[in-house]
Amino acid sequence: MTDPLSLARLRPIPRLPEPRADWALFMDLDGTLLDIAATPDRVVVPPDLIRDLAAASAALGGALAIVSGRMLSEIDALLSPLRLPAGGEHGAVLRLPDGQREEVDAKVPSEWINALLDAADNRAGILIERKIHSVVAHYRRAAHDEDFCRQLCHQLIAGREETYEALQCKMAIEIRPRAVTKALPVQRLMKLEPFAGRRPVFVGDDVTDEDGFRAAVALGGEGHDVMLRFGGRPKLVRDWLKTIGGLS
């Protein structure tokens, strides 16, 4: 069976997606709303972004969620004082519209995290990002160590590939439970007000967002890759976000 998302990506899009008031909007953070930085803690939140997110959320009746690989606490710190519905750690932790939290019972073994930390101690430029449910080896500042990071991560999960995956991201390898994907926030939130009954639209830039794209498409919506739809420019995504706020 042909993947509808793959077909959609083959068709050139001559203009940006036309916002609609009946959307339920799911947005990635790094590489989508925020420009990628050398390390995750060095990202810059543009001064208008929080205001524009609030305006877009209001225009969509509150049906706007952030779905990020970052921990929920990091999402909140970056977007303070906003507390939008959100999926942190690719959906492992979910904040519902009423503020309640749900969490997947799946984590990466601590000995794998320790092995990556030990390896990074001996190689300058590799950054290990520890999360609650996953772990990431960043090599943006050590591109020559890409093969080393990949091989080590695959060695760690060897024999447990049915439960865990070593996912190739942008200048990083992430080990995460297979039960955790960005499809989860889309599927869960679309059952709840104010998302229910709307058309899901997921905007993201990385391989981890593809699960969110597919979930949105499966529910009759759209998945928009930042590279294909916005020329790989988060600033263009942010400018587009302003037009959504203007729907109200």
19 upstream amide cis, omega within 30 of 0: no
- What is the DSSP track for 129-182? EE-SS-EEEE-TT-GGGHHHHHHHHHHHHTT-TTTEEEEEETTEEEEEETT--T
All residues at 6 or more sequence positions from 74 whose CB lies less than 8 Å from its CB, including other chains: 40, 68, 88
Residue found by looking up tokens 């008031």 in the block: 21
Contact 193, 170 (CB under 8 A): no
Q: In the 8-state DSSP scheme, what is residue 98?
A: T
48 is catalytic: no
89 backbone φψ class: left, alpha, beta (φ>0; ψ -120 to 50): left
Catalytic residue among 22, 28, 30, 98: 28
Active site residues per annotation:
28
